[in-house]
Amino acid sequence: MLWADTGSKTALVNEAESDATDSPSAQDTETQYLIKWKHWSHIHNTWESVTSLREQNVNGMKKLDNYRKRNSELQLWYVAVIRTGQSAGQSVSLTLMIV
């Protein structure tokens, strides 16, 4: 168990130990994004899926869509750079920073 100080109140977070029978398969998982909510401090950031954000009809979905598009383009570019470097016998060192 972890205790998280959330200001005037304290929250208890229960982390259950998982074994192989409890772990979800790759098909059961969905991508989640760490959301920084406007006008809220970073302690209130939450992990949300695209589905839950659309259900809540939140503002800023265009930002998330742009991020997902840019991230997929960067991954394609990264794969192309790695393939080019490996075929030429060069070592490729690459640092990606997504802002």
Check residue 9 and report its DSSP letter: S
| Mean pLDDT for the stretch of residues 41-47 | 93
**What is the C-alpha separation between 92 and 84, in angstroms, rounded?**
9
Map 22-79 to HEC letters: CCCCHHHCCCEEEECCCCCCHHHCEEEEHHHHHHCCCCCHHHHHHHHHHHHHHHHHHH
pLDDT at 83: 80
Instruction: State residue 43's pLDDT score.
Output: 94
Q: What is the pLDDT of residue 4?
A: 44
What distance in Å separates the CA atoms of residue 90 and residue 71, rounded to the nearest whole number?
Answer: 25
Q: What is the mean pLDDT of residues 2-16?
A: 46
Q: What is the model's pLDDT at position 23?
A: 60
Work out the average pLDDT over 77-94: 69
pTM beyond cutoff 0.75: no
From CA 93, how far away is CA 10, in angstroms rounded?
Answer: 44
Between 90 and 68, the higher pLDDT residue: 68
